Amino acid sequence: MLRVVNRPSGLLRISHRLIDSNAEVSYLWGMSETITVVLVDDHDLVRTGTRQYLERAQRITVVGEANDGLVAQGVIRDLQPQVVLVDIKMPNQGGIELTRWVRANAPETKVIVLSAYDDDPYIMAALEAGANGYVLKNTSPLKLIGAVETVAAGGSALDPAITTKVMGLLTGNRGPVSAELSDREIEVLELTARGLTNKAIGQELHISNRTVQGHLRKIFSKLDVNSRTEAVTKAIALGLMQP
């Protein structure tokens, strides 16, 4: 079923319900903001509330919604948002699987897992899948807005309630560091923790974008991690850099 609704603000909203999977996606066009976001959650009330929270910030616009991980793939492919907020458990495809898909097919899009679960397996699975952030659903609107802005800028966002837990998991369950990080790698990682993009890191350190990428690959390898979030968290936990 296809539905088109003209809104007073001049925005055009199109909702597409796939009868076979009972999955719904909505597209929103007509406004250009600094940070574009897609919401993926199977609960209508959660998506509505999250959208209202985020759009309190003038720099954030929710451009699409989906209540199913598989359908969300099409939304992300079509709209190419800067940030996607995903739930963990959803019909047909959950947030972990969707995060892996985003990393493989839309690498420029950042992923924040927005979940009610603070269980260790979910947290580690999300980070290992490549999530840029993990925020609990009981967080405040200001902290959620801050997480979106941080991740959009290239940083990482972990809910304070799970940061200590993640540090313990990373140091206790992963292999030892294969080598100390070089001074330059520490500098790159510290700038990464501040939310700088590869380009901005290169400008700050007067090195090329390709060199920054090379440093990050070495950091990931040495720390045995798969994402910036894991790298920063583990480096802090191991005492290689200050929080």
Instruction: Please give the pLDDT value at position 104.
Output: 92
Containing 65, the helix (H) or strand (E) segment is strand 60-66
With a cut of 50, say whether residue 115 has pLDDT above it.
yes
* Residue 21, pLDDT above cutoff 50: no
Same domain, 120 and 221: no
User: 37 and 123: one domain?
Assistant: yes
| Cα–Cα separations (whole angstroms), residue 176 to 135, 231, 234, 235 | 27, 13, 11, 12
**Residue where a domain terminates, one of 101, 134, 158:** 158
Please check whether residue 71 is in contact with residue 65, taking contact to mean a CB–CB distance below 8 angstroms. no
For residue 229, tell me if it sits in a domain: yes
DSSP-derived 3-state class of residue 155? coil
CATH code: domain of residue 209: 1.10.10.10
In a domain, 166, yes or no: no
- Asked whether residue 167 is domain-assigned, the answer is no
Q: Judge if 178 and 152 occupy the same domain.
A: no
If asked whether residues 72 and 183 sit together in one domain, one would say no
Distance of CA 174 to the CA centre of its chain: 22
Residues 40, 124 share a domain: yes
Q: Which of 90, 125, 158 is the last residue of a domain?
A: 158
Q: Does 177 lie in the same domain as 139?
A: no
CATH number at residue 42: 3.40.50.2300
169-205 burial: b if 16+ Cβ within 10 Å, else e:
bbbeebeeeeeebeeebbbbbebbbebbbbebbbeeb
Residue 104 lies in a domain: yes
What number is the average pLDDT over the span 123-142? Answer: 88
pLDDT in tens, 36-85: 999 999 999 999 999 999 988 889 999 999 998 999 999 999 999 999 99
How many folded domains does the chain comprise? Answer: 2
**Are both 34 and 89 inside the same structural domain?**
yes
**Pair 113, 133: CB distance under 8 Å:** yes
Structural domain boundaries enclosing 212: 172-237
Q: Is residue 131 part of a domain?
A: yes
What value does the mean pLDDT take over residues 16-38?
51
Average pLDDT over residues 82-102: 92
Task: Please check whether residues 138 and 206 belong to one and the same domain.
Answer: no
In a shared domain, residues 37 and 129: yes
What is the distance, to the nearest Å, from the Cα of residue 227 to the centroid of all Cα atoms in its chain? 11
In a shared domain, residues 54 and 139: yes
